Structure 1
């Protein structure tokens, strides 16, 4: 459409009075056309609305009938039950929540609810949390929640038929007068099902466990694993762990305990039947601790061990009995050792008297008194076929680390090296540097490099080697996985050089600290300052 004002459109031009009258006359016909078009659009929209409603009615009719022939309605009952069981978490017990299976399965429809309630396996795993009451809350509200938990626990486990049970009880410790009574109620609710306990986890006070001390080994014939995390209370100094008769269950093969009021040697366990053992004491000054000598006694009682985790505390004056007969652990596959105190004493006393020819996985952690003269030869001799190693760098000096790596068995496939988040070492005393990395790098100068079969290397927070040294190391080996967490900035981007290896199957994960973001905001200090870092 042409207009004598075309050159003025879209500008800031202000027309004269005569021009305003001309513009109004010019717009009379277009305004009439717009009105006709609006009427047509309204009619079409009304017709479209009618068609949309008709389509929705037909869609609902079709969907309702298609639902009748849906394949899921024709699934056999046993298939639906297996699907429901597959929804149950396998890495933990089920929570008392409508967001978690099996409860959520019964909220889809009435038939699914009937199926879930009639499938005992769905209700054989349960995590029970003690309700807590803030100091400013009414006791009545807390007691109502407790009663609800008790009723749910009884109903839940009552649906489990004759299935073996996996139960975890999570208590808290506050100093309100009704705490112990609360925990006692919860653990008492589990007693009617003791004959079907299979995997039990207790995070509670010893005084609560003492309330079920009347249980005997005969009362828990199906019990296979027990995990106890003791919440410390001052009155537990004289805790009688030997009174817990249920720990003598004949089928118990896995035992985990963490606390500070027990003596490991007094625990009433059938040690000879254990295949998995974990003792992680909360060490306190003057309290009981597990020494190397006591660890040897435990090992001698557990000839069937497959995996073991211990916290060992040896002092500077711990007596040594090197030269005693060698204790053989023919089935031990995994050893996780945390050392507190004098590492050299632990290594000398423990490993010089042990032999575990089947050990494949070894983890060495701790906060030990540093000793540059510590020798790892006893361990290296005791574990000739180790495949994976996980160590803390704090336990080594540079010479001892180099010697340790050189002495590792050729069967080693994986090495993980970590450093505590809080750096205890002085600045400039980093250990894992270019020289250490070079000892793992095959070269013409090294006829037999350390760990010739190495496939996986992971280093976390203790990387003082250069990017160039890392590049040479990776290119010189046929590795499957390399994970490096640097605490310094990138010096050289080596990933383009390694792209062919990545394309051939190498999993490469190199992470550097993010660059610092400088902010120069004129809003700083004002309550309504924008969040954008660009301001």
Structure 2
């Protein structure tokens, strides 16, 4: 064959190859479509009403879904056309999201689509990771643009880049807004701010440089309807203990405030109480050190909250007089939770038995203990429960069962309708 004929032959073959490639692509598409149709026929979810299948999909979500193809709800878009249609038509699947920092730049393109799929639903957002040195301004701008729709906001500083090339970020304070001024978070009901746990290798650096009261209070200032606030392992930079009345942040709607995971952190962490006035607070959880250093009594005197539930965890502080002063300021208290300290508990139980004026509305007492309880303490506990007719819940690790007369007294109280739940590894009454 001549050169010209060979060229023509090659062109013909190329044309045929292109034709068959296109045909193969069409066949692949038809195959995928047939698979989806088969899945729709065989899939029991596809035969369910949309409101039921969407409810099933909702149960597959984590509280804060990640925006990845391998995580629901994004994963649901890749199963079949029916699942995809249900997922896209269910705004509740898109009302929450977890954003990890550092994050990819294309997240700024995904977020508007995600929030649009949530339609007009209130949003729950978890910002997690290095929220100091690795903050992404373009992503944060999109989040604060939807701030008026935020119902739950959680800030979890659980990673700290502080080695090698990341050392320069060590002096950057925790400030999620930077130079921006977001619109008020009118729907925000719950704010959670979590720091690194005390045992983390970089916890000391964070304590020195990262958290200041002004940065912690700033999101609260934007939330006029906040109901619940949780501070978890937040070591604040030291600041003056006394705050003038005019300088305190008043949150008239906040009803629940919890300080968590603070037993090994210096007591300055609960100093944020001195910056707040909470006249509607009903549920408070703080470490016992807030009693020992006087911070709790100052807060109670200033705010005069109608507390119904109080939890004092850890057994730091042995001065019952300070605890007694605090309890006298909250006659509305109905549920009291405390960690066992022999000296304090003996005096508390005796006072509850002998004085009706201390905590006159108390209905429930929860005591945590990891130590042995003396026979005297058991009998004092029985007298207090019997006199006040309160629901007792005793939680702890392995310890000896109470004396037989105490067990008999508890069983008699249970027979009279008193709720008693005493649990340990080796015995239970209830």
1:272 aligns with 2:252: yes
Q: Distance in 2 between matches of 1:470 and 1:68?
A: 65
1:441-474 per-position Cα deviation (integer Å, ceiling 9, x unaligned): 47xxxxx864542344223138455352553233
The equivalent of 1:106 in structure 2 is 77
SS in 2 for 1:250: coil
Gapped regions of structure 2 (runs ≥ 5): 1-36, 161-171, 197-205
Q: How many angstroms does 1:65 deviate by?
A: 10
Change (3 A) 1:164 1:238: closer
**2:394 is matched with which residue?**
458
Q: Larger Rg: 1 or 2?
A: 1
- 1:363 touches 1:389 (CA, 8 Å); kept in 2? yes
The Cα of 1:215 is off from its aligned counterpart by 1.9
Secondary structure of the structure 1 residue equivalent to 2:146: helix
Q: Which residue of 2 aligns with 1:290?
A: 271
TM-score of the two chains, using structure 1 as the length reference: 0.54
Contact 2:279 2:303 (8 Å CA) reproduced = no
Q: Tell me the equivalent position of 2:369.
A: 419
Equivalent position of 2:34 in the other structure: none
2:95 aligned with 1:124, yes or no?
yes
Kept in 2, the 8 Å contact 1:410–1:451? The answer is no
Q: Is the 8 A contact 1:213 1:244 kept in 2?
A: no
How far does residue 112 in structure 1 lie from its aligned partner after superposition? 1.0
Tell me the distance in 1 between the aligned counterparts of 2:296 and 2:342. Answer: 12
* Pick aligned residue for 1:360 from 279, 296, 308: 308
Counterpart position of 1:336: 285
Distance 1:84 1:186, change over 3 A: same
C-alpha distance in 1 between matches for 2:316 and 2:91: 49
TM-score under structure 2 length normalisation: 0.64
Structural RMSD (CA):
4.5
Q: 1:482: which partner in 2?
A: 421
**1:216-231 paired onto structure 2 within 5 Å:** 216-218=182-184, 220-230=185-195
Higher RCO (CA 8 Å, separation ≥ 6 residues) = 2
Match for residue 175 of structure 2? 209
**1:323 counterpart residue number:** none
Task: Output the CA distance in 2 between the equivalents of 1:347 and 1:117.
Answer: 49
Could you say what secondary structure the match of 1:396 adopts?
Answer: helix
Verify: 1:165 aligned to 2:123, yes or no: yes
Higher helix share: 2
User: How many corresponding residue pairs?
Assistant: 359
Partner of 1:368, secondary structure, is: coil
Structure 2 residue 237 is matched with structure 1 residue 261 = yes
- Spell out the pairing of 1:28-177 with structure 2 (5 A cutoff): 68=41, 73=46, 75-85=48-58, 87-89=60-62, 92-96=63-67, 101-130=72-101, 146-147=104-105, 152-172=110-130
> Any conservation in 2 of the 1:226–1:254 contact (CA below 8 Å)?
yes
CA contact (8 A) 1:217 1:247 kept: no
- Choose the corresponding residue for 2:334, options 363, 367, 387: 387
Secondary structure at the counterpart of residue 194 of structure 2: strand
**C-alpha distance in 2 between matches for 1:349 and 1:286:** 15
| TM-superposed deviation, 1:114 | 1.9
Provide structure 1 residue ranges, at least 5 long, that are not aligned to the other structure: 1-63, 132-144, 174-178, 306-331, 424-429, 443-447, 496-506, 509-535
Shift of 1:169: 0.5
